[in-house]
A and B are shown apart, each in its own frame.
Chain A
């Protein structure tokens, strides 16, 4: 497996030298099918004989609970919320992702620092600040960004929830009092940030307007290629992602 590195400094006390696993990130808005795809990929990878671990945002034992509570109260400033998320992220990185990589697992991450940076930037954070805060994140071996047209996104959201989510609609951003308007504007802004980040962080775009099966075939194909390459180090491609 390719050696791991971060986007900047290495977190204190973390040894990147012994991380033999792979980190695969699936990014994309809610209702883009991320969790469905991750569940399918996990099953497939295990069938192939890979040990799989999963990670996602606000799943850390450290501040996950407080973070959920704070979000419900909606009392935190955007900067505070960003740093809270960052704490949660690094807790997971150090206590879940790194140990799994060390044990040789394929780690499937349901979102990663890119969502956190995009959310912070849309809420007024300086892009450079956001990049610095997350500069100690491990560079994933592959980052798939699921793109869905807004129309499809809205339809899927209403299908599953029958209402829009407060945060996914960016209702805290004061874009519009109308939830639907706010949702559309917010999602557009987030997408713009992702497109800006695409080159710097080398996302692979995945057209997620297609059926679950079609998207999954696509993802499997790309992951298979990457895993084959990782098995044969001489054919290894240049490590992806841009260092700062």
Chain B
């Protein structure tokens, strides 16, 4: 169970964080394609996707049974499952592991829901810090515009409706996202995020990100043919 938080591992962990609508999924997918096409050992992991916990999460969310604490813990369970089953073994095996959202998503969202920040950090204490954390920074209004334009049907928890911020779903979402952004901004320094200006063009951002990864990771070591 010891997860070697400080242990040196041959793999590299790259995480992308940002508000809904910041374009982080697009960017990390492009990174994934790029690394795959170059023949690198790379693995892509999404937030909230382990089969086992998904059922419980889905059911609980549907019935609105979750409190801030259980909401936080059920996501931590899911994360731990993916972390210990996939990410950690892959890092040990020398893979580049790409994460669309990482523990910082939980730190931000759960803190907005009222969970204690220290408790969150301790609970997720088993997870390694990423080698690179890209934070896609976008003015709130732009991120909101993208989401509200393309996907008007907001889900209960996604909109932070459990917080009783506003009876109006859109307004609740706006307030919730504003608070999440505030949490993210406080973490930039604490966790050494690399800030990417997400108001630039998709291509422009991708060029920046690829350059960054090339600078900080010796990609030659991750070529599928190179045996470590």
Binary contact readout A119-142 vs B (1 if CB under 8 angstroms, 0 otherwise): 000011110110011011000000
Cα separation A83 to B85 with both chains bound (whole Å): 15
User: A12 touching B114 by the CB < 8 A rule?
Assistant: yes
User: B67 touching A77 by the CB < 8 A rule?
Assistant: no
Cα separation A75 to B70 with both chains bound (whole Å): 22
Cα separation A95 to B66 with both chains bound (whole Å): 10
User: A129 touching B125 by the CB < 8 A rule?
Assistant: yes
User: B65 touching A94 by the CB < 8 A rule?
Assistant: no
Cα separation A86 to B80 with both chains bound (whole Å): 13
Query: Interface residues of A, CB < 8 Å — how many?
Result: 35
Query: Interface residues of B, CB < 8 Å — how many?
Result: 33
Question: Chain A CB within 10 Å — which of B77, B84, B116 has the most?
Answer: B77
**Quick check: is A150 within 8 A (CB to CB) of the other chain?**
no
Cα separation A77 to B126 with both chains bound (whole Å): 13
Q: A residues 37-65 with Cβ under 8 Å of B?
A: 61-63
User: B119 touching A62 by the CB < 8 A rule?
Assistant: no
Cα separation A66 to B60 with both chains bound (whole Å): 11
Binary contact readout B108-131 vs A (1 if CB under 8 angstroms, 0 otherwise): 000001111011001101100000
**Quick check: is A9 within 8 A (CB to CB) of the other chain?**
yes
The residues of A that contact B113 with a CB separation of less than 8 Å are: 12
Nearest Cβ distance between residue B128 and chain A, in whole angstroms? 13
**Quick check: is B55 within 8 A (CB to CB) of the other chain?**
yes
Question: Which chain B residue has the least Cβ–Cβ distance from A78?
Answer: B1
The residues of B that contact A124 with a CB separation of less than 8 Å are: 1-2
Cα separation A141 to B73 with both chains bound (whole Å): 26
**Quick check: is A18 within 8 A (CB to CB) of the other chain?**
no
User: B74 touching A12 by the CB < 8 A rule?
Assistant: no
Q: Is the interface of B mostly helix, strand, loop or mixed?
A: helix
Binary contact readout B29-65 vs A (1 if CB under 8 angstroms, 0 otherwise): 0000000000000000000000011011000100001
User: A66 touching B56 by the CB < 8 A rule?
Assistant: yes
The residues of A that contact B53 with a CB separation of less than 8 Å are: 66, 80, 84
Cα separation A82 to B55 with both chains bound (whole Å): 18
Question: Which chain A residue has the least Cβ–Cβ distance from B2?
Answer: A124
**Quick check: is B26 within 8 A (CB to CB) of the other chain?**
no
Within 8 Å by CB of A87, from B1, B68, B74, B116, lies B74
Within 8 Å by CB of A80, from B81, B114, B116, lies B81
**Quick check: is A226 within 8 A (CB to CB) of the other chain?**
no
The residues of A that contact B81 with a CB separation of less than 8 Å are: 76-77, 80
Cα separation A52 to B228 with both chains bound (whole Å): 62
The residues of A that contact B126 with a CB separation of less than 8 Å are: 79, 129
Chain A residues within 8 Å of B, Cβ to Cβ = 8-9, 11-13, 61-63, 66, 70, 75-80, 82-84, 86-87, 90-91, 94-95, 123-126, 128-129, 132-133, 135-136
13 A-B pairs within 8 Å (CB atoms) are namely A12-B114, A66-B56, A78-B1, A80-B77, A83-B73, A90-B73, A94-B69, A94-B70, A95-B67, A124-B2, A129-B125, A135-B119, A136-B69
**Further contacts, 12 of them, CB under 8 A, given A13-B68, A75-B52, A94-B70:** A12-B115, A12-B116, A62-B56, A63-B60, A77-B1, A79-B126, A80-B52, A80-B80, A80-B81, A83-B76, A83-B80, A95-B65
